[in-house]
Amino acid sequence: MLIIKNGRVVDPQSQFDQVADVLVENGKILKIGQDLDAADAQVIDATGLVVAPGLVDVHVHFREPGQTHKEDIHTGSLAAAAGGVTSVVMMANTSPTISTVETLKEVLDSAAKEDIRVHTVATITKEFDGENITDFEALLANGAVAFSDDGIPLTNAGVLRKAMKLAKKHDVLLSLHEEDPDLNGVLGLNEQVAEKHFHICGATGVAEYSMVARDVMIAYETGAKVHIQHLSKAESVKVVEFAQSLGAKVTAEAAPQHFSRTEDLLLTKGANAKMNPPLRLESDRLAVIEGLKSGVISVIATDHAPHHADEKNVADVTQAPSGMTGLETSLSLGLTYLVEPGHLSLAQLLEKMTINPAKLYGLDAGYLVENGPADLVIFDPKADREVSANFASKASNSPFIGDQLKGQVKYTICQGKLVYQAD
């Protein structure tokens, strides 16, 4: 038995926001109220701290199987817990990809050993071939929560339309990475900084928003539930808003990096600031924030993409892989760049990091209620922290190392168990 005393309990779903105690037993929240007591219970004094639902991150890469020198399900889960995240959805760009029931079962067997809740998507097409659609029915029956060829955009509109019709039939979500390779140069570097400082053709804005436009209109026509990953361009936000106004079942996410910093970060942080889609212009950053404020973008997800230091530390930044670790900085970036400047309230930030992503993927998570799951994060929203390179993740490819940010996770509880405690 565990009792959390005197914390500011914030539940975005019910809009409960007051100082209260939370009593936890057998993996469930037994009671939320004033002056609770229980004999022999472990006590956490949360005075001055926020008690919220455990964060739900629906876009992570845990690299297992096949790329475990970068990350594995265990170290990824430790990173999640350190960041206050109690539920994750893994992407399927493993080796082999999660395209078969056999690989799916292997991954979920490994995931079941962890202290946090680890879910996974399966691929839309077999081994990301872009042509042959996987067995949706079998993969869903064996535990896949959605489908995505994340990282490999589906260039064939006919194949995508067929997949959307299948997704509609099974009432399941398709999650899409939108960057048309035929309109892009070197990935990971925004077109302006690429041309000015590296004298190459980089990742263009039109590659993103033109593909978003195509796919949201196919979603509109088919009636499929389609989720657009990590919007980074102002035009993309407008396109999604338009599709939503038509009644398309389209949702979108933003990654913390895209509402926090711009392409200039490449000049100081090098390959650690290289990611797909790339950091963009200040006008794009502000547009993403406006999308979060308006609700066009309803989810914040990290795209946690760990890489080995040797892969990132190459002489030519254009040859480094794209991606950054994100699980251990996401809450702080949200507090620093969204809450502190007054763009979102704390409850609004938490909504986009808990209940919204949970509902989107059909997860029983992201809320606080009596008899509900005891998945919680306890954090100090005002604490100043310097991001160190000492991550729980195997990787430290973060462009935010050395930055001063707001917010510090103190405790993470999942299924009633204390899975992380700050030093």
| Active-site annotation, residues | 303
Whole-angstrom distance, CA of residue 234 vs CA of residue 110: 39
Residues paired with residue 418 on neighbouring β-strands, in sequence order: 413
3 state DSSP class of 300: strand
- CA distances to 164, 167, 255 from 220, rounded to whole Å, are 10, 13, 24
Contact 183, 206 (CB under 8 A): yes
DSSP 305-364: ----HHHH--SSGGGSPP-B--TTTHHHHHIIIIITTTSS-HHHHHHHHTHHHHHHTT-S
How many CB atoms sit inside 10 A of residue 392's CB?
A: 17
DSSP string, 7-42: EEEEETTTTEEEEEEEEEETTEEEEEESS---TT-E
Rounded Cα–Cα distance for residues 89 and 361 (Å) = 9
The continuous run of DSSP H or E covering 137 comes out as helix 136-141
